[in-house]
Amino acid sequence: MPSTAPSPHHARLATMLLFFVCGAAFATWGIHIPTIQQRFGLSEAMLSVAMFAVAGGAILAMPMVGRWVARAGSHRASHYSGLLVGAMLALILLAPSFTMLLPLLLLFGASNAGLDVAMNAQAVTVEKQLGRPIMSALHGMFSLGGMAGAAAGGLLLAAGVTPLQHCLGMGVLTALSAMLASRVLLHDHHPAGEDAAAPSHLNRANRLIWALGGLAFLGLIAEGGMYDWSVIYLRDTVHASNAWSSVAYAAFSGGMALGRFGGDKLRARHGSVPLLRYSAALAFAGMLLALLWPVSAIIGFALTGLGAANLIPVLFAASAHIPGTAPAEGIAGVARLAYIGLLLGPVMIGALAHASNLQTALGLIALCTALIGLLAHRALSAIPSA
């Protein structure tokens, strides 16, 4: 570690790198899901077990991750969890059997959870030092990283790079990025016993975590549902061609990226609660447009992405300011509930579509965004710095 105190401006750039690389690493896993299915001859049911292992590893690890990041500091936690993410990504396609693959995927999910909490905790530390919001732009970097990782992976595979070489290379790049970034991240840690809160304060902190986590749960039900079902909606309900249907995903993703890179200025100017309310209202209006006038679905999905863009960044930023708990533990508690929403959202929409139709089922997304807008003030009003 350098002897001089790290600069918050350098730390911001390093955190941007971590978010970008984390997005690219997760996209690398995503584009090799078919590779894993083909290699091990998995049925759709068994492939879903592999996908659940990644999400399950993250959800199970969150309580321990929050305490670890708080005590070790987000700078150290980013270093070690980034190394582990890189190692697991490199090892996934080296697993000799499906039985050996599952623990690797659990560890991949857990290490991603560690890096997720550490990055967001560092973002809050940098925000405090800079005196201005940066969280939304950092989440925008994650989105860009995912898009870049998927595009680069496709080009590399088309050029003859094997899936194993691709995963090994991305694993090394992730590990090196974590090592380099951690050298200039700001130091923050909460040793055991520091800022110990009375039981009544802990109960209040837990209630706030559940309140913010509930909103994040709703937010990622909506986000996960859009990523998994928007293309199918255009194909089956609007009867668009396969090529045109893919524009639905691009419209939502583009709206998300645009909204996140403008979100920090809006939060600085108007505050978290108004931004959350107006964002939720825009997402709600976009879904209504897409569902009530299917011919306008592309525009509606773009507006939904624009509105949904800042829901999670604002909630994560607020969770780091919950009185009576360390920032990393607040973020981990909220992120755990958010991940459950991301996991369940597409499944819930699928079940509703089976019982009725997809157009009705996607109304769940509109309902979730409406609830976020209605409950935003109640959840955030008890958090002084939110």
Q: Averaged over 48-61, what is the pLDDT?
A: 89
Nearest to 152 by CA among 170, 137, 134, 126: 170
With bands split at pLDDT 50, 70 and 90, how would you rate the model's confidence at 196?
Answer: very low
Tokens at 358, concatenated: 């997809």
- Please identify, among 114, 147, 182, the residue that sits at the C-terminal boundary of a domain: 182
Q: In Å, how far are 161, 293, 295, 313, 369 from 215, measured between CA atoms?
A: 42, 27, 30, 12, 9
Query: 152 and 62 in one domain?
Result: yes
Q: What is the pLDDT of residue 385?
A: 63
Query: 212 and 93 in one domain?
Result: no
Would 188 be classed as within a structural domain?
A: no
- Please identify, among 150, 182, 214, the residue that sits at the C-terminal boundary of a domain: 182
24 touches 146 (CB < 8 A)? yes
Tokens at 309, concatenated: 């863009």
Query: 174 and 212 in one domain?
Result: no
Residue length, the chain?
A: 386
Domain containing residue 161: CATH number:
1.20.1250.20
CB burial class (10 A; 0-12, 13-18, 19+) of residue 44?
Answer: exposed
Query: 171 and 85 in one domain?
Result: yes
Q: Averaged over 336-355, what is the pLDDT?
A: 89
Helix, strand, coil abundance in the chain, percent, nearest 5: 85, 0, 15
User: Which residues make Cβ contacts (< 8 Å) with residue 328, sequence separation at least 6?
Assistant: 65, 66, 67, 69, 70, 74, 77, 117, 118, 121, 190, 320
Query: 228 and 178 in one domain?
Result: no
Q: What is the pLDDT of residue 31?
A: 84
120-147: pLDDT as tens digits: 999 999 999 999 999 999 999 998 898 8
Nearest to 28 by CA among 118, 115, 88, 77: 88
Query: 42 and 143 in one domain?
Result: yes
Query: 232 and 162 in one domain?
Result: no
User: Which residues make Cβ contacts (< 8 Å) with residue 9, sequence separation at least 6?
Assistant: 130
Q: Averaged over 326-355, what is the pLDDT?
A: 90
Would 3 be classed as within a structural domain?
A: no
Tokens at 348, concatenated: 């819930």
Would 2 be classed as within a structural domain?
A: no
Would 93 be classed as within a structural domain?
A: yes
pTM for the model stands at 0.87
Highest mean pLDDT: which range of 22-26, 39-43, 279-283: 279-283
Would 344 be classed as within a structural domain?
A: yes
Domain span at residue 251? 199-380
Query: 309 and 170 in one domain?
Result: no
- Number of folded domains in the chain? 2
Q: What is the pLDDT of residue 379?
A: 86
- Residue in the structure block whose two tokens are 């525009």: 299
Tokens at 199, concatenated: 């039981």
Q: Averaged over 244-250, what is the pLDDT?
A: 74
Q: Averaged over 278-287, what is the pLDDT?
A: 96
Tokens at 356, concatenated: 């009725």
23 touches 256 (CB < 8 A)? no
Query: 286 and 169 in one domain?
Result: no
Q: Give the residue, 88 or 254, on which the prediction is more confident.
A: 88
Q: What percent of the chain has pLDDT over 90?
A: 61
Query: 341 and 204 in one domain?
Result: yes
Tokens at 21, concatenated: 């690389």
Nearest to 256 by CA among 380, 146, 346: 146
d(CA 22, CA 15): 10
The sign of the CA dihedral 208, 209, 212, 217 is negative
Tokens at 95, concatenated: 């697993």
Query: 297 and 247 in one domain?
Result: yes
Q: What is the pLDDT of residue 365?
A: 94
Would 187 be classed as within a structural domain?
A: no
Q: What is the pLDDT of residue 203?
A: 80
d(CA 243, CA 54): 30
Would 194 be classed as within a structural domain?
A: no
- Please identify, among 156, 182, 208, the residue that sits at the C-terminal boundary of a domain: 182
Query: How many C-beta atoms lie closer than 10 Å to residue 243's C-beta?
Result: 7
Q: Quote the mean pLDDT of the chain.
A: 89
Query: 75 and 124 in one domain?
Result: yes
Would 325 be classed as within a structural domain?
A: yes
